[in-house]
Amino acid sequence: MPFVMVGHLTRETAAGSPLPASLNQVIIRDVLRSQLGYQSIVITDSLSMAAATEVTSPDRVGVDLLNAGGDMILMPFDFTAAYQGILDAAASGEIPDTA
């Protein structure tokens, strides 16, 4: 598959965190990438949905996705804030070159 869309499903007992799957390192990096060996593009469902906007700020949503192992953010609530957040995190070294 050229890409996989990760939804905002939440299952704390399965992922060990109340974060939705779309921003959750356990789901994206540990399960999808490591256990299942998926190495192509991971895109989120719309990040304007309450499942995402209620757990992170507009400037952190893209950073959270990249740090979880995802590649593409879809429709963040505030595109400008999400974009600036990623730029700031990259400049500070929070997002490694391999993210």
Q: What per-residue confidence (pLDDT) applies to 99? A: 47
Q: DSSP letter at 42?
A: E
| Angle at 44 (CA atoms; ends 92, 21), nearest 5 degrees | 90
Rounded-to-integer distance, Cα 4 and Cα 92, Å: 29
Does pTM top 0.95 for this prediction? no
Output the tens digit of pLDDT for each of the chain's 99 residues.
899 999 888 776 666 777 888 999 999 999 999 999 999 999 999 988 888 888 889 999 999 999 999 999 999 999 999 999 999 999 999 987 654
Q: Under a CB-based contact definition with an 8 Å cutoff, are residues 8 and 46 in contact?
A: no
Tokens of 70: 């995802």
Q: Phi, psi (5° rounding) for residue 48?
A: -90, -10
